Amino acid sequence: MVNFERKVEETSERVNRGVAELTERLEKETAELIQYLNNEVVPAARVHSSKALRTASEKLAAFANYLDETKSSR
């Protein structure tokens, strides 16, 4: 019985170490992912979204001019 309890205890310790190592690695990887998103993805998205808005604005202005021209030629 003592041998069984020792094996259970050893297995439990091994599992706890494995979980602790995995948790530590996940925390590190998550921090790196957040840093990457903040440093690379967010600035790029802001630049590209502002370009898209400017392009859409120009297209909408051109379409409004077209509608005005079409309306006044009738």
* pLDDT tens for the 74 residues of the chain, in order: 778 888 889 999 999 999 999 999 999 999 999 999 999 999 988 888 988 889 999 999 999 999 998 887 76
For the entire predicted model, the pTM comes to 0.56
> For the CA atoms of the chain, what is the radius of gyration?
30
Number of residues written out for the chain: 74
User: Taken in order 10, 16, 20, 26, is the CA torsion positive or negative?
Assistant: positive
SS (H, E, C) the chain: CHHHHHHHHHHHHHHHHHHHHHHHHHHHHHHHHHHHHHHHHHHHHHHHHHHHHHHHHHHHHHHHHHHHHHHHCC
